[in-house]
C-alpha cells in the first residue's frame, strides 16, 4: 500500500514537473479594446502580434503565451483585469496600458504580487517620482516630456501667448504641466474637458473661448478619436490660419487617415512632438514600420511602436536569464540595461526606469503615395530625462 502511494506520488510529481518549471513566458497585455478608444488598443494589439511573428513566438527558447485584456477605458475595470491576470493566469509580465488613470489604479495589484509591470504608453508623474518601483518599467516616456519638448518649440517659433486644452484626467494635467515647465510665454487660457467613457467630443464652447482669447497659438492634447474631432472643429470654426495649432499625442497615424478621409487639409503642416516617428532612421524601426505596413496596410502609431518595443524588452530580459523566469533580479538587471533593439534607436533608463531619450519635432506631410503621415523635422530635446526622476528613491 505504502509503495503504491509513493509510486503514485512519484508519478504525480513527474507529471506535474513540466507544468511547474516555467515552460512558457506568460505576458498579460491590458489595453482598451471596446469603446471608441478601442482603435488605439487595436493598433497596440496588432503591433504585439507583429512582434510575436518577428520573434517566432519564442523568447529565450520558451514559448510565449499572450493574454490580452480589455480595460474598457475604465480604471476599476483595468484593475480587475490585472487582478485576474496576476491571480488566475499567474502571468510573468503585466504590460500595456494606454491611460494613466487606468495604470495608476492597476499598478498595486501587479507590483504587490511581485510581477513586472511595463507601461507601453501611460507615463504618469507619480510612477516616475515618489511612487517609482523596482519592478516597474516604462517602454514609452513620462507624460511631461513630450509637451516639454513642445514648449521649447513654441519658444523657438517666437510664440508669446498660448491657449491650452486637454482632457480632465491624470495625463491631461501632466501634459499641461509639461508645457508650462518649458514655455516662456504666457498661457492665456486653459480648458480641461470631461474625459472617460462619455468624453466630451464637441468643443464648440472651448474653441470659441480660445479664439476670443487673442492667443498666438493653440496647444492641445487629445489622444484617440477626440483628436480627429477636435481638428475637424478647429477647421470648421475658422481657426486655421488665425490660431496655429500645436499638438502632442493628437495627430498620429490613428487620427490622420480619418482626417484625410474627411479631406481636412488644415492639419497639413501642423507641428507635434514625439520621441519616435515612422521615418526615424534605425534598422529596428525600418523593420517594424515596413513589417506593420505590409501586414496591416497602414502606418503604425507611436502606441504600436511602444508596444513592439515592450515585447523586445521582455525578450531581452528572458534571454538574459536563459529562460529561468524565477530569476527576477537577473531579468530586472537585463531590462535596466535597455539592451534590445528599439524602434526609437539607442536609449538608456534613468533611476526611475523611465527612458532617457530624444524628442523630435514632427510635421504632417503626405508621403510618396499621397498618404498623410508625419516627418521628423529636427531634434528638440536630446537624451532628455523626466523632471520627476529626482523624487524617486531608487
Partner 1 sequence: MDWGLFTIQMLNGLQLGVLLFLLAAGLTLVFGIMDFVNLAHGSLYMMGAYFCATLTQLTDSFLLGVVLALPLTALLGWLVELIVVRALYTHDHLDHVLATFGLILCFDTAVDYIWGPTGMAIPLPDFLNGQVTLFGGLEFPVFRLVIIASGLLVAALLYVMVAHTRLGMLIRAGASNRTMVMALGVDIGKLFALVFAVGAAFAGFAGMLIAPITEASIGMGNDIIIVAFVVIIIGGIGSIKGAFVAAMIVGLIDTMGRSFLDQLLKVFMSAQNAETSAPALSAMAIYILMAVVLAFRPQGLFPPKVR
Is 198 one of the binding residues for partner 1 (CB under 8 A)?
yes
Q: How many helices (H) and strands (E) does the chain have?
A: 13, 14
Q: Which region, judged by CB under 8 A, interacts with partner 1, from 19-27, 56-64, 235-243, 343-351? A: 235-243
Is 225 one of the binding residues for partner 1 (CB under 8 A)?
yes
Distances (CA, A) of 354 to 94, 97, 223, 335, 381: 16, 15, 21, 11, 16
- Cβ closest to partner 1, residue 108 vs residue 298: 298
Is 298 one of the binding residues for partner 1 (CB under 8 A)?
no
Is 186 one of the binding residues for partner 1 (CB under 8 A)?
no
The alpha helices in 297-387, defined as continuous H runs, are 302-320, 328-336
Alpha-carbon torsion 337, 339, 344, 347, what sign?
Answer: positive
Q: Of residues 123, 147, 228, 277, which one binds partner 1 by CB under 8 A?
A: 228
Binding string, residues 22-61; x marks residues near partner 1 by CB under 8 A: ------------xxx-xx--x-------------------
Is 126 one of the binding residues for partner 1 (CB under 8 A)?
no
Integer Cα distance of 338 and 174 in angstroms? 25
- Cβ closest to partner 1, residue 112 vs residue 198: 198
In angstroms, what is the minimal distance from the CB of 44 to partner 1? 13
Cell of 276: 519616435
Q: Show the beta-strand stretches assigned E in the chain.
A: 24-31, 58-59, 62-70, 93-96, 116-119, 136-138, 161-167, 186-193, 217-220, 245-248, 271-274, 348-349, 355-366, 372-384
Q: Of residues 6, 156, 157, 204, which one binds partner 1 by CB under 8 A?
A: 204
Binding string, residues 246-275; x marks residues near partner 1 by CB under 8 A: ------------xx-xxx------------
Q: Of residues 63, 202, 290, 329, which one binds partner 1 by CB under 8 A?
A: 202
Closest CA to 311 of 23, 11, 2, 25: 25
- Cβ closest to partner 1, residue 42 vs residue 324: 42
Integer Cα distance of 28 and 282 in angstroms? 28
Report the chain's terminal Cα–Cα distance, integer Å: 57
Q: Which region, judged by CB under 8 A, interacts with partner 1, from 78-86, 193-201, 289-297, 363-371? A: 193-201
Integer Cα distance of 128 and 323 in angstroms? 29
In angstroms, what is the minimal distance from the CB of 68 to partner 1? 14
Is 209 one of the binding residues for partner 1 (CB under 8 A)?
yes
Rg (CA), the chain: 22
Residues interacting with partner 1, by CB under 8 A? 34-36, 38-39, 42, 168, 173, 190-194, 197-198, 200-202, 204-206, 208-209, 211-212, 225, 228-229, 232-233, 235-238, 258-259, 261-263
Amino acid at each position: 500500500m505504502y509503495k503504491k502511494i509513493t509510486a503514485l506520488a512519484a508519478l504525480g510529481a513527474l507529471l506535474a514537473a513540466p507544468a511547474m518549471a516555467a515552460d512558457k513566458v506568460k505576458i498579460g497585455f491590458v489595453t482598451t479594446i471596446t469603446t471608441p478608444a478601442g482603435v488605439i488598443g487595436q493598433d497596440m494589439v496588432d503591433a504585439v502580434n507583429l512582434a510575436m511573428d518577428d520573434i517566432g513566438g519564442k523568447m529565450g527558447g520558451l514559448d510565449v503565451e499572450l493574454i490580452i485584456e480589455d480595460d474598457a477605458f475604465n480604471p476599476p475595470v483595468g484593475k480587475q483585469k490585472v487582478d485576474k491576470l496576476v491571480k488566475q493566469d499567474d502571468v510573468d509580465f503585466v504590460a500595456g496600458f494606454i491611460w494613466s488613470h487606468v495604470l495608476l489604479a492597476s499598478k498595486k495589484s501587479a507590483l504587490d504580487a511581485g510581477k513586472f509591470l511595463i507601461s507601453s504608453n501611460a507615463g504618469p508623474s507619480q510612477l516616475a517620482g515618489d511612487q517609482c518601483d523596482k519592478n516597474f518599467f516604462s517602454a514609452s516616456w513620462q507624460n511631461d516630456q513630450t509637451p516639454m519638448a513642445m514648449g521649447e518649440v513654441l519658444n523657438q517659433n517666437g510664440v508669446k501667448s498660448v491657449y491650452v486644452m486637454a482632457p480632465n484626467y491624470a495625463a491631461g494635467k501632466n501634459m499641461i504641466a509639461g508645457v508650462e515647465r518649458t514655455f516662456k510665454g504666457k498661457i492665456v487660457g486653459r480648458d480641461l474637458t470631461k474625459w472617460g467613457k462619455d468624453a466630451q467630443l464637441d468643443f464648440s464652447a472651448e474653441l470659441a473661448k480660445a479664439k476670443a482669447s487673442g492667443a498666438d497659438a493653440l496647444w492641445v492634447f487629445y489622444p484617440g478619436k477626440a483628436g480627429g474631432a477636435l481638428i475637424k472643429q478647429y477647421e470648421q470654426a475658422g481657426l486655421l490660419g488665425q490660431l496655429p495649432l500645436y499638438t502632442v499625442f493628437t495627430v498620429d497615424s490613428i487620427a490622420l487617415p480619418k482626417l484625410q478621409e474627411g479631406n481636412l487639409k488644415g492639419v497639413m503642416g501642423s507641428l507635434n512632438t514625439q520621441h519616435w516617428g515612422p521615418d526615424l532612421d534605425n534598422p529596428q524601426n525600418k523593420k517594424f514600420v515596413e513589417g506593420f505596413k505590409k501586414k496591416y496596410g497602414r502606418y503604425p502609431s507611436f502606441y504600436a511602436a511602444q508596444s513592439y518595443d515592450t515585447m523586445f524588452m521582455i525578450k531581452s530580459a528572458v534571454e538574459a536569464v536563459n529562460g529561468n523566469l524565477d530569476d527576477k533580479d537577473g531579468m530586472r538587471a537585463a531590462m535596466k540595461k535597455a539592451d534590445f533593439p528599439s524602434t526609437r534607436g539607442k536609449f538608456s533608463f534613468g533611476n526611475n526606469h523611465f527612458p532617457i531619450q530624444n524628442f523630435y519635432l514632427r510635421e504632417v506631410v503626405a508621403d510618396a503615395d499621397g498618404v498623410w503621415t508625419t516627418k521628423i523635422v529636427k531634434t528638440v530635446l536630446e537624451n532628455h530625462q523626466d523632471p520627476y526622476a529626482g523624487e524617486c528613491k531608487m
